[in-house]
Amino acid sequence: MKVIVSGAAGVLGEAVRDAFLKEGATVSCIAIGREGIDADGAAWFACPDLADEHATNSAVDKALAWMGGIDALVHVAGAFDWKKVEDSSVADWRALYTANVETTLVTVKACLPSMRAGASIVAVGAASAQPAGVGMAAYGAAKSGVGRLIEALAQEIAPRGIRANAVLPSIIDTPRNRADMPEADPATWTSPASVADAISFLARPGSRAISGALIPVTHNG
């Protein structure tokens, strides 16, 4: 299996990379400022901005050439910001839209021409977007946008035999989240490995009957 993981440098991206490598996949990782083959055999291709079509197309083309094709795209890139509506600016909303929706759109469009029947796309939404709580309006709107993109995309590419789904994690247990929420109990959060396992399942043929789904990944696995 040949997999591109976009936005792979974060904690979840690394977990996704590890999950596919353990299952014997050939993995290309796209991230800011990282190039070369890592110790586990994954290839890294630098892209300064996944919302930039030229930069993303260039990185994807290099990844496709290295792997000789693609069976799955896993788009992990995104951003989070907690801010109440009355304290937010239009620039805050645009930044989250760009980081979450535009990066998904641009990366999907870069990969789709090379995808064949049986291929799959998995994006990352957020359980907190439905419904959104205090301080989550801009982030929830952006992640809802990812969900709508995936739902429509799944319908559009179904005739080609390609699937698209998204996972909706709750709070992921990362060092950054622990630092930002020192009073929260991480025992109730979801591990990066658990989210990666769900993503791996959706990317593989065993989930061939699932497309257009937004799947909550919220158990404290």
- pLDDT digits 0-9 by tens, 22-34: 999 999 999 998 9
The CATH number of residue 97's host domain is 3.40.50.720
* Span 52-72, average pLDDT: 98
Instruction: Enter the pTM of the model.
Output: 0.94
Taking only the tens place, the pLDDT of each residue in 103-147 is: 999 999 999 999 999 999 999 999 988 889 999 999 999 999 999
List, in sequence order, the alpha helices (H) in the chain. Answer: 11-22, 53-67, 90-97, 103-111, 137-157, 175-180, 192-203
Sign of the dihedral defined by the CA atoms of residues 91, 94, 100, 105, in that order: negative
Mean pLDDT of 212-217: 96
Number of domains the chain is built from? 1
Segment (H or E) for 6: strand 2-6
Cα(100)–Cα(91) distance, integer angstroms: 14
The yes-or-no verdict on residue 221 having pLDDT over 70 is no
Per the structure, the complete domain to which residue 184 belongs is given by 2-217
Whether the per-residue pLDDT at 193 is higher than 70: the answer is yes
DSSP string, 41-71: S-EEEE-S-TT-HHHHHHHHHHHHHHHTS-S
